[in-house]
């Protein structure tokens, strides 16, 4: 016979259960508060995300176009075919070069201009590659000099701005030849067509002596900036220069220089001794992966036969192996 618990025991058991429930709830609340505090502390201890930095000057310089090379400068030169008749490749410096251009003057700007024309450095000394082509017109005794140079954009623009002031600063001045003869020099502005990004044209006329006789040398001077490079043209002689040839040379030359700069193809280079060869290039555009060199694949079993054995003939070893497999 089962004995029923007394009312007193039931009340004690209920009290114990209630107390246990309260203790459990208090523990959970304490753990929850602690977790929130720990989360807050972790958030406060976490370092702030670094703000994005502005690109460094090195990164900006990496995007600058590469400098003009000697090969590119030569490729950008004009030919006599570009100019047409009566121009042919020059056979040397003109006779009037030293006699009428190698002069000095007390005016600093005007003296600088004469030096720049004589040395063919209208924009100053080139900063890198340089290529020059000369052409003669034997009908008029004129000579055209065409030059492509590597330069810094800021330096070119500064030089063009200086040339623009010459018609005002050096409109008329007197120069002295190496022999002491006086020369009268005039400088005027020449309009140029839309070629390149910036340009300036001048006409310089100097009257002096050549071989003991009076002579007047007249030259068209033109400078054009194409990107970070420059084109220089000198055209003239002892007669009035034909400016249409100067204009034509600038227009054709500016487009050719742009095309040369845009042509990024370079001939393959032979590695220098001790230098690693160039890595194998990726397949050309449009070539499928399966067109690349594939490793030798395993030939079908029926095609791989021993010497002197016809296809389809089993060897004794293969027959025995098949028999053993049949047993199992």
What is the mean pLDDT for each group of 10 consecutive residues in the chain (328 residues)? 55 58 54 49 51 52 76 95 94 88 95 96 91 94 96 94 98 94 96 93 96 94 95 96 95 95 56 38 44 45 44 46 43
Residue 249 lies in a domain: yes
Predicted confidence at residue 94, as pLDDT, reads 86
* Number of domains within the chain: 1
Residue 107 lies in a domain: yes
Residue 98 lies in a domain: yes
**Cis, peptide link before residue 13, omega less than 30° from 0:** no
Predicted confidence at residue 150, as pLDDT, reads 94
Say how far apart CA 220 and CA 143 lie, in whole Å: 11
What is the Cα 104 distance to its own chain's centre?
Answer: 40
Residue 280 lies in a domain: no
Predicted confidence at residue 169, as pLDDT, reads 97
The CATH number covering residue 86 comes to 3.40.1000
* 3-state SS assignment for residue 195: coil
Predicted confidence at residue 236, as pLDDT, reads 97
Residue 205 lies in a domain: yes
Reported as a single tens digit per residue, the pLDDT across 23-70 is 555 555 555 455 445 545 554 555 554 455 555 555 444 466 789 999
Backbone angles phi, psi at 192, to 5 degrees: -120, 155
> Taking the complete model, does pTM exceed 0.85, yes or no?
no
Residue 226 lies in a domain: yes
Predicted confidence at residue 3, as pLDDT, reads 56
- CB-based burial of residue 163 (10 Å sphere; 0-12 exposed, 13-18 middle, 19+ buried)? buried
Residue 171 lies in a domain: yes
- Give me 153's structure tokens: 């954009």
- Give me 40's structure tokens: 């807050």
Helix (H) or strand (E) holding 60: helix 57-62
CA torsion angle for 175, 177, 182, 184 (degrees, to 10)?
-50
Strand ranges in the chain using DSSP code E only, listed in sequence order: 87-89, 130-137, 142-150, 172-176, 182-189, 198-210, 213-226, 229-237
Owning domain of residue 102: 65-262
């Amino acid at each position: 016979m089962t004995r029923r618990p007394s009312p007193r025991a039931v009340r004690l058991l209920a009290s114990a259960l209630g107390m246990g429930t309260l203790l459990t709830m208090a523990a959970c609340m304490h753990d929850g508060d602690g977790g929130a505090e720990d989360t807050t502390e972790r958030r406060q201890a976490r370092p702030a995300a670094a703000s994005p930095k502005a690109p460094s000057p090195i990164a900006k310089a990496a995007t600058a176009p590469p400098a003009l090379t000697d090969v590119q400068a030569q490729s950008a030169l004009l030919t006599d075919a570009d100019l047409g008749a009566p121009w042919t490749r020059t056979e040397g410096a003109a006779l009037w070069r030293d006699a009428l251009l190698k002069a000095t003057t007390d005016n600093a700007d005007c003296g600088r201009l004469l030096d720049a024309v004589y040395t063919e450095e209208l924009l100053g000394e080139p900063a890198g590659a340089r290529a020059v082509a000369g052409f003669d017109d034997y009908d008029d005794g004129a000579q055209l000099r065409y030059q492509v140079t590597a330069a810094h954009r800021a330096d070119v623009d500064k030089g063009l701005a200086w040339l623009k002031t010459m018609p005002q600063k050096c409109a008329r001045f007197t120069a002295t030849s190496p022999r002491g003869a006086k020369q009268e020099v005039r400088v005027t502005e020449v309009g140029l067509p839309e070629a390149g990004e910036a340009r300036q044209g001048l006409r310089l006329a100097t009257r002096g002596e050549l071989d003991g006789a009076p002579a007047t040398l007249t030259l068209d001077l033109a400078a054009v900036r194409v990107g970070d490079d420059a084109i220089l043209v000198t055209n003239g002689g002892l007669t009035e220069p034909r400016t249409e040839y100067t204009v034509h040379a600038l227009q054709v030359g500016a487009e050719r220089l742009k095309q040369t700069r845009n042509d990024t193809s370079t001939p393959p280079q032979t590695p220098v001794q001790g230098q690693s060869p160039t890595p194998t290039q990726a397949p050309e555009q449009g070539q499928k992966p399966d067109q690349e060199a594939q490793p030798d694949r395993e030939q079908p079993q029926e095609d791989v036969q021993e010497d002197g054995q016809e296809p389809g003939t089993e060897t004794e070893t293969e027959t025995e192996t098949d028999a053993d497999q049949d047993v199992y």
